[in-house]
Structure 1
């Protein structure tokens, strides 16, 4: 079952409960995946090539409601194309999120003296499965994937499609969106939402597993931070991920009346 259901009207979508985030609205990785997947779905017919980069901005919380999208071609032709896609609640006028996807036609290039790094095959299933219990009593985006952790890499395998026919880059964005949380300097003291997400791939992932070798830096005196890391599949590195982080104090529990 896809995480987003296509409605009768073109570019209209209904999110399933699996698109939800831990707080209000949808998870950023689900949103970025939907917007990028729509662009990838058009790439073949438009001769854009392969999606190699997606930069998403989360402008405000996206509600669990029917949604609409709008694709706009920024640059098309030659070897590289740039395409924007934006997201709105179907009944509203202010956008919630936008992505800019860079696509390129593949072309083999001979580079004298260059030797591609050897690949060492990994088996994520040899690590124990991890259950992340942030949300109770309902489904959320983490329930759409299997998670394992070992040797400094967090591994994820999506168990549901974002949309029917989603491409390779959009399948990476959901796991990549957890990067800043994997490497938190401390746990359970502040929330650290990411207002943006950028992923770049230098080759297509092989197989179902996506790994993140993550790092994060916080500056509590400013309330900012950053997350980033190396993206992998079972055969080695495939790209990079980065995002900004905004530190937000957890709400204080209400005091009982004396």
Structure 2
């Protein structure tokens, strides 16, 4: 399968496919965060940064469907922990659209008596009903790049297209995790709920292609804000956590029947 972001001729230049699209205008935030994270993970082995254990993304403004450029910055390069920023701009523009800060750690075993991984019964997400949500604009979008299924207590996602060639484990988790705030929405078809940020923390990489989210959401309509959070899973159990802020935005009011709807661009 072709990657969702294709590298252009020069370093740190990318072209998104239609599968990077969001439900409204521009790119899906989870796709953007995944791209920025994948770039850092690709350098981790070369720079001896270790494993990416946490990523926090800030979505500063909508990212347009156009050629993109990125720039990495080393915040801290330590003996055990390193912190790396990666920022994205539309090519030819000065105002950034998104930035991600990754924490990476070199693994080092610590003996703790009585500790150990607690195995759970493996889950087969293929037994759960298939979900195929569509974007309001009717075009291809990021959800089309993955298979989605739902159990009684979790939503399951499996990417069928890589974010980039050689993307690392954390990059593969961020896309599914970005749907957390929409999985357990307290009200349906009332407001839009974009998330201006996204934080994912892993204590182990997922086994296999499936990523599950056991989500919770809390909304405060009187202030127009909320949160989304959840436990992240693979087929063998828990792998980490996700959280984000939510901004509640009213849907546009329907035009009266007597008025002519404006042309859509």
> What TM-score does the superposition give when structure 1 sets the normalisation length?
0.98
The residue that corresponds to 1:22 in the other structure is: 23
Q: What are the residue-to-residue correspondences of 1:126-165 with 2, within 5 Å?
A: 126-165=127-166
1 CA distance for matches of 2:126 and 2:248?
33
Does the Cα contact within 8 Å between 2:24 and 2:137 map onto a contact in 1? no
Query: Does 2:118 correspond to 1:117?
Result: yes
Q: CA offsets, 1:126-178, max 9 Å, x none?
A: 11211112335310000000000012110000000000000000000000000
**Greater than 2 Å deviation, 4+ residue runs:** 113-119, 133-137
Q: Secondary structure at the match of 2:42?
A: helix
Q: RMSD over aligned Cα, in angstroms?
A: 1.0
Q: Secondary structure at the match of 1:81?
A: strand
Query: Does 2:184 correspond to 1:183?
Result: yes
Q: Secondary structure at the match of 2:107?
A: coil
Q: CA deviation at 1:119?
A: 2.2
The residue that corresponds to 1:219 in the other structure is: 220
2 CA distance for matches of 1:223 and 1:245?
8
The residue that corresponds to 1:51 in the other structure is: 52
Does the Cα contact within 8 Å between 2:64 and 2:90 map onto a contact in 1? yes
The residue that corresponds to 2:262 in the other structure is: none
Structure 2 unpaired stretches of 5+: 260-265
Q: What are the residue-to-residue correspondences of 1:193-212 with 2, within 5 Å?
A: 193-212=194-213
Q: CA deviation at 1:91?
A: 1.2
The residue that corresponds to 1:247 in the other structure is: 248
Q: CA deviation at 1:254?
A: 1.3
Does the Cα contact within 8 Å between 2:22 and 2:135 map onto a contact in 1? no
Q: CA offsets, 1:90-116, max 9 Å, x none?
A: 010000000000000011111023243
Q: CA deviation at 1:255?
A: 1.4
2 CA distance for matches of 1:124 and 1:217?
26
The residue that corresponds to 1:236 in the other structure is: 237
Q: CA offsets, 1:206-243, max 9 Å, x none?
A: 00100000000000010000000000000000000000
Equivalent residue pairs, number: 258
The residue that corresponds to 1:64 in the other structure is: 65
1 CA distance for matches of 2:138 and 2:191?
22
Per mean C-alpha deviation after superposition, the further-off stretch among 170-179 and 132-141 is 132-141
2 CA distance for matches of 1:115 and 1:79?
22
Query: Does 2:35 correspond to 1:34?
Result: yes
